[in-house]
Each structure stands twice: as C-alpha cells, then as structure tokens.
C-alpha cells in the first residue's frame, strides 16, 4: 500500500484499515507458528503498512494539535 493512497483516507477509514491490517498480521503469524505458511515477505509488508497507517494518523494528530494551539 502506497503512502499516497493512505493519505487520501479519512480518519475513520484509517482506524478501520489499521485494525484490518492487524487482523491479517495476526492470522499470518498464527499460520506461521502452526507451520502452515512461510510467507515472511507478507508479514514484513503488513508490518510496514501498519507503520505507514500509524505514522499518517500521528501526523494528522500533530497537525490538529498545532491548529488548535494557534487559535
């Protein structure tokens, strides 16, 4: 998932996307521990996507705090 695509999401969509990605990561880790899959690339990609979503959500929090601080 590209950062530009994530930036176009609303705050609610960001939270939903983060929970979806966390669920997918949990399922992949569970499968990995059960020996059903060896998809380390997918796990790494999901972790990076979660980090992107969290980073953009935090950027928005900081921007909102600065906007209220200036008023």
- Mark out the alpha helices in 1-71 (DSSP H runs): 3-7, 11-34, 40-70
Which two three-digit tokens encode residue 13?
A: 């969509």
Q: What is the pLDDT of residue 37?
A: 79
Closest CA to 17 of 71, 55, 67, 44: 55
Q: What is the pLDDT of residue 47?
A: 96
Q: What is the pLDDT of residue 36?
A: 87
Which pLDDT tens digit goes with each residue over 15-53?
A: 999 999 999 999 999 999 998 877 889 999 999 999 999
Number of Cβ atoms within 10 Å of the Cβ of 6:
18
Which two three-digit tokens encode residue 15?
A: 């939270």
Q: What is the pLDDT of residue 70?
A: 80
Delineate the domains of the chain, giving CATH numbers in brackets. Answer: 3-70 (1.10.287.310)
């Amino acid at each position: 998932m590209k950062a530009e695509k994530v930036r176009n999401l609303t705050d609610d969509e960001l939270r939903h996307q983060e929970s979806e990605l966390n669920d997918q990561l949990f399922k992949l880790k569970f499968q990995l521990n059960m020996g059903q899959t060896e998809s380390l690339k997918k796990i790494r990609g999901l972790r990076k996507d979660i980090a992107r979503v969290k980073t953009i959500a935090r950027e928005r929090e900081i921007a909102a705090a600065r906007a209220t601080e200036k008023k």
